Amino acid sequence: MTEIEGQLRGPGRVAVLVSRYNERVTGRLLEGARACCRAAAIAESDIDVVWVPGAFELGVAAAVAAASGRYAALVALGCVVRGETPHFEFVAGSAERALTSVALEHHIPVGFGLLTTDTMEQALARAGGDAGNKGYEAAEAALRTADLLGRLGGADA
C-alpha cells in the first residue's frame, strides 16, 4: 500500500490574504503565517501579503490571486467575532463558501485562517496566545496541501 502525504516545504510563490478588520488579531495571524513560511524555507521575496478590508473580501481577492496563476498556494487570514446580530453568520459563511469555491475551481490550496469566535479574548488566544497560532496552522495546511497536490499530479516528490 502506498501512502502519500504532503511535506512542509515551499511550493513556489505564496499569497497571504489578510483582513484589516480586527487587525489586532489578524496581524498576529500574519506573524504566524510568516513563521510557517520561514520554516518551509520560503524566501520573503516569494511571499505576497495582500490586505483586504474585511473577511468578506477574502473570497474575491483569493479568486483573482488564484486566477492570476502566480501562486502555488494561498493563505486567507481573518477574524469575525460574534455580535448580537446575524451579521456574524453571513460574513463567516460567505467567506468560507467563497474560499472553498476558489480552492476547488482553481485546484489551488487555500489555507483557512478565518477565526470565528464568540469573544475577542478567544480570538487573541488563537492568534499566538494559549491556543497557538491559527495563522501558522493555516499556512502549514496550504503548504502541505500544495506539496501533496504536486505529488498526486506526478511532480517529483
Class of the 29-48+59-143 domain?
A: alpha beta
Distance CA 7, CA 151 (A): 10
The cell for 12 is 513556489
Residues with catalytic function:
87
Kindly list the domain boundaries of the chain, sorted by start residue: 29-48+59-143
Q: What pLDDT sits at residue 157?
A: 42
Q: How confident is the model over 142-156, as a mean pLDDT?
A: 85
For residue 154, what pLDDT band results from cuts at 50, 70 and 90? low
- pTM for this model (two decimals): 0.94
Q: What is the pLDDT of residues 82-127, one digit of tens each?
A: 977 777 788 999 999 999 999 999 999 999 999 999 999 999 999 9
Name the pairing type of β-strands 132-133 and 127-129. Answer: antiparallel
